[in-house]
Amino acid sequence: MSLKPLLLSLLCTLGFAASSQASDLQPLLVANQKSSIKVLLEVSGELKDVPYDIQFSEFPAAAPLGEALNAGAVDIGALGDAPYVFALGAGAPIKVVSIVHAEGRYTTAILAPKDSALNNASDLKGKKIVTTRGSIGHFLAIKALRSVGLSTSDVQFIYLLPSESRILLDNGSADAWSTWDPYTTISTTQNQAKVLASGATLLTNHLYLAATSQAIAGKRQQLEDFVARVDRAYRWTNAHPEEYAAAQARVTGLPLAVHVAVAKGTHMEPVEIDDKVIGGLQTTADIYQEEGILTKHIDVSQGFDKSFNAKRAQLNQASR
């Protein structure tokens, strides 16, 4: 056996030494948004030989997922910048234990129909933008407007779920749609929608794995193992985009070509929880407060747990 697999084996063994049997570990309750995390772990092989039970609960969007975390109905779930800020604002007893950075062309974007007279964010003045309230798309629209000297009062927002938003863009009831992948890729590839602004430079494009305080206290071993599996799985997708896309397409029902384009155009990389990351999310929270979307100041530093960094780095290094 080579050194790295041996080291990884030893770390896993030591990590669960406190439990005499795998069955002694309580199940980990994972909030799954449209099967994304479950598919990720399945196709990468990371659901094999798990020394505890993983129970997935399905959620249609980030908002209800955050509510489930707040209620303690699940132990851990993935949220973007904006939804996580809203969860903290609602008083959810949660902390980020892992971060993955998504780098890609259209991870988030503001779109307009291909024959639209709009060409960039400056052209949005006086226009209707459809997005999902409190979503990363909503935040992108705010950031894009600010970047060209406009404010939210210069546009009219229409708040809908993504499926409804696309209809409004297609039938002309909205001038632009601020959304995220795979919707950005669907619109740009199938309808040749034009990109007015991209989140590639305007947003942090971080995906936060947030766990409840109760789970951190009582299921530390499971959480440390789980986030390491997610890290390895995302690295696997970087090297196997076609396989990952095929697995997603079987679940979502979207065209395989869409998922292939997303997978090949997006690179996922684990990120350490540090002051720079925390500061970036604080900026998000402050902007929402300035916009009147949040009614009070939120200290987001209370929503991170840096103690997971060391074990996570250790396991990631061993798996390389």
Q: Residue 169: helix, strand or coil by DSSP?
A: helix
Q: What span, in angstroms and rounded, lies between the C-alpha atoms of 27 and 118?
A: 51
Q: What span, in angstroms and rounded, lies between the C-alpha atoms of 126 and 115?
A: 18
End-to-end CA distance of the chain: 15
Q: What span, in angstroms and rounded, lies between the C-alpha atoms of 131 and 156?
A: 11
The helix (H) or strand (E) run that includes residue 246 is helix 241-252
Where in the chain are the domains? Answer: 3-102+205-319, 108-202
The helix (H) or strand (E) run that includes residue 313 is helix 308-319
Query: Interhelix angle for 36-43 vs 220-239, to 10°?
Result: 70
Q: What span, in angstroms and rounded, lies between the C-alpha atoms of 276 and 147?
A: 21
Residue 307 burial (CB count, 10 A)? 14
CB 240 within 8 A of CB 266: no
Same fold, 3-102+205-319 and 108-202: yes
The helix (H) or strand (E) run that includes residue 101 is strand 94-104
- How much is the pLDDT for 310? 84
φ, ψ for residue 256 (rounded to 5)? -55, -40
Q: What span, in angstroms and rounded, lies between the C-alpha atoms of 31 and 65?
A: 6
Q: Residues 6 or more apart from 83 whose CB is under 8 A from it?
A: 62, 63, 65, 66, 134, 135, 136
Q: What span, in angstroms and rounded, lies between the C-alpha atoms of 211 and 203?
A: 23
**At the topology level of CATH, where does 108-202 sit?**
D-Maltodextrin-Binding Protein; domain 2 (3.40.190)
Query: Interhelix angle for 3-15 vs 308-319, to 10°?
Result: 150
pLDDT tens, per residue, the chain with 320 residues: 444 444 444 445 444 444 434 558 999 999 998 778 999 999 999 999 999 999 999 988 788 898 999 999 999 999 988 889 989 988 999 999 999 998 876 688 999 999 999 999 999 999 999 998 888 899 999 999 999 999 999 999 999 988 899 999 999 999 999 998 889 988 988 889 999 999 988 888 899 999 999 999 999 999 999 999 999 999 999 999 999 999 999 988 889 998 998 899 889 999 999 999 999 999 999 999 998 888 899 999 999 999 999 878 776 666 65
Q: What span, in angstroms and rounded, lies between the C-alpha atoms of 311 and 319?
A: 12
Burial degree of 275 (CB within 10 A; 0-12, 13-18, 19+): exposed
CB 196 within 8 A of CB 124: yes
- How much is the pLDDT for 14? 47
For the 3-102+205-319 domain, the top CATH level (class) is alpha beta
| Cα 217 off chain centre by | 24
